[in-house]
Chains A and B, each alone.
Chain A
Amino acid sequence: MPQSDLERLTAPVRRTTWRFYAVVAPLAAIVALGAYAYYVQFTTGLGVTGMRDYVSWGLYISNFVFFIGVSHAGTLISAILRVSGAEWRKPITRMAESITVIAISVGALFPIIDLGHPDRILNLLFYGRIQSAVLWDFISIATYLTGSLLYLYLPLIPDLAAMREAKVGGRFRRALYGFLSMKWRDHPGQRWRLKRGIAIMAVLIIPIAVSVHTVVSWIFGMTLRVGWHSTIFGPYFVVGAILSGIATIILAMAVFRKVYHLEKWIKPLHFRNLGLMMLALDLILVYFTLSEYLTAAYGSESADTAWLNALAFGPYAYLFWGMVVGGLLAPVFILALTRVKSVAWLVVAAVCVNVGMWFERLLIVVPAMATPQMPVNWASYSPTWVEWSITAGAIAGFVLLYAVFSKLFPLVSVWEVSEETPEAKPTPRPVGEEVTP
């Protein structure tokens, strides 16, 4: 493995400037605020939130769906591209896989934050009933987290061993790399087994990921509520998840490329290919959204109509049209007009997609709960500072964990990108496109 690659890719691990701390400190402060808000909620009760008996799920459950959605990043990029043998994926798989693990970890906290009795969470083990979709979620998310951790860890081993050999980092990190690299000596037999392991995980993780967001959607789909009781929810959630996952990878790639000077590995080709994937998934999501809402709108069931009216013209209109126009259509136009060539516009589109997807998650959870089921007026819901602080804390925590990850492990898989040179196949290019690195 060329020493220069290892040296340059582990540079962020070796050197930490004041700028890193300048970013980390405010993030840590926001996380601390979130933790304080949770303390208030834990001691006083969920009454400190804006949730009440009608709208009894709010920001927390929306955040849960959103983060678990973002976690689909790694699976798509690394597993699907690995299985289909797309060589260009190599420099970005690590970033994608780490998004997955971090997003699941943060997302899985939200149902627990939402519990009235978090201290009784072990009841899920003692009294768990497999008939309940909550248990389906519990099982599939635990499986997904375990699988993704393994899937992140396996391709890390050779890099960890290389860092161990190169004596990167102080005492703590050296011990960490020594422990985690598990006597990796880079023998052909070890390589062969590692590749097999990675290949098996890549195949396994795809159905697991699809199942995860499907059962998340079934939490809602299995009830009898207007706006939730819909057969399209499984695929709708999965596509939305992959879309927000790709958008998040694009953002991570853009930021890390700039901050850590990874231009040699993260090339316009990667942005372009991911941009095309984002465009395709966005279009599929437009199609699903149309199917979902048009079916409800075309009939005239009074409850459906009332729910749609509230979405399109009522209190949720800003969110709804923000999601449709800003989160779904605007990215399509941006990507189409710039022909997916400009990284800056791609980043804008990715931000639009992620904000739009967060709106979408909120629009799925809240209006359906506010829809009257009995002869009463519409219920209202406005989140309190506790909910906003915990939400901000989670987003900051996500970024913080990612920043810390970048200081512990190389963000680009060193051994995999080194493998490409010199005898590797030429990097396949998108059809009809000349890309200059």
Chain B
Amino acid sequence: MPDADAKGEASDEAPQVGKDGMDRRRFLKMAGIGAGAVAILAIGSKFLADRIVPASADPRLRGSTSNSWVMMIDLSKCDGCGACTRACDAAHYVPSGQSWIQVYTVQDATGGTYHLPRPCFHCRNAPCVKVCPVGATYVDPDGTVLVDQTRCIGCRYCMAACPYNARFFNWTTPSYPPAALAHTYSPEEPWPTTKGVVMKCVFCAHHAREGTLPECVTGCPMGAIYFGNENEDAVTNGMGETLPFRKTLQTQGGFRWKEELGTDPRVYYLPARR
């Protein structure tokens, strides 16, 4: 193109076009400088952010690959009392209006009903992780799906994407007791948080690494919820009863909620009647 341009200019009145060409060059130069400045600013801030928060201290990188947490809920034991929800709410200062583990009443094909506790399923192929534009929703090395509420921009795309309604939004500033306000926030123990961010079940990731069970597991008076490490192939409930994970699923007709979606949940169910 420059060739054609030069010719076009040559055939015009010389002084005018000369000025004109300079203008264009100046414009391009200014545009170039502007674009460069924005790029340098963006890269520079990223660099600085990485320095200020070194990767070793990054709370997002806690955990290890030798852990792979799974949950198994025996629906035949669940009587729908809601103790798991209450235990979770109390331990995590869950803002009112949210239930990180929610107990649904389900009609089955025979006309009977059963109860279905639903924590976050910590999908291995999690739609919420895929859609988050800023990586605020992420998977930690243990396989737990967590939300970094200090990065979340509150777009709620993850809520639209989660097929299980496992996510909640701080529509207003949550009210916290003094103990919660004194706590140091981390994605695993997300309190206190602000308005305008997304919250959900954290699989009690911090407990699990220390060898204790999640709040809902210990809170269930029926011993219906089991939790464990998939790599050890064992799950334990709040009564201290330990079951072989894979064998139990195979022999007792284990299933997952909306398996057909391909989200590959870490939460398994044993049927209500068998």
Contact = CB atoms under 8 A, between A and B. Distances in A.
A424 interface: no
A111, A187, A220, A376 — most chain B CB neighbours (10 Å): A187
B261 A224 contact: yes
B17 A126 contact: no
Contacts of A345: none
Contacts, number: 157
B267 interface: no
B135 A129 contact: yes
Most buried by A among B46, B97, B106, B171: B171
Contacts of B80: none
B161 A54 contact: no
B254 interface: no
A257 interface: no
Contact of A56 (B49, B116, B156, B163): B156
B164 A373 contact: yes
Interface in B1-24: 5, 8-9, 11-13, 16-17, 19-20, 23
A116 B153 contact: yes
Contacts of A53: 97-98, 159, 165, 167-169
A414 to B, nearest CB: 21
A37 to B, nearest CB: 16
A45 B131 contact: no
Given A129-B132, A132-B133, A185-B16, A117 B197 contact: yes
A116 B196 contact: yes
Contacts of A126: 42, 45-46, 49, 134
Given A124-B153, A374-B164, A117 B134 contact: no
B105 interface: yes
A80 B245 CA distance: 62
Contacts of A374: 102, 104, 118, 164-165
B91 interface: no
Contacts of A299: none
B184 interface: no
Interface in A107-145: 111, 114-118, 120-121, 123-129, 131-135, 138
B67 interface: no
Interface residues of B, number: 60
Given A53-B159, A124-B153, A116 B169 contact: yes
Interface of A is mostly: loop
A138 B171 contact: no
A295 interface: no
B135 A127 contact: yes
B152 interface: yes
A44 B106 CA distance: 36
Nearest to A369: B160
A46 interface: yes
Nearest to A115: B154
A80 B111 CA distance: 59
Nearest to B149: A117
A16 B152 CA distance: 48
A24 B18 CA distance: 44
Most buried by B among A53, A118, A126, A373: A53
Contacts of B229: none
Most B-side CB within 10 Å, residue of A127, A183, A373 = A127
B255 interface: no
Interface string B134-173: 1110000000000000011111110111011101111111
Interface residues of A, number: 51
Contacts of A437: none
B127 interface: yes
A129 B154 contact: no
A403 B199 CA distance: 44
B195 interface: yes
B165 A187 contact: no
A38 B23 CA distance: 42
B130 interface: yes
Contacts of A57: 156, 160
B110 interface: no
A192 interface: yes
B250 interface: no
A128 B134 contact: yes
A57 B42 CA distance: 30
Given A46-B171, A54-B165, A114-B155, A183 B19 contact: yes
Nearest to A368: B160
Nearest to B45: A126
A172 B102 CA distance: 62
Given A190-B20, A192-B8, A375-B107, A45 B171 contact: yes
Given A224-B263, A374-B118, 16 more contacts: A46-B196, A47-B172, A116-B198, A117-B197, A132-B133, A134-B157, A138-B133, A183-B20, A187-B16, A188-B12, A192-B8, A222-B161, A224-B161, A225-B163, A374-B165, A375-B105
7 contacts: A44-B172, A47-B171, A116-B152, A121-B153, A188-B12, A224-B163, A224-B263
The 3 closest A-B pairs by CB, nearest first: A116-B154, A116-B196, A47-B171
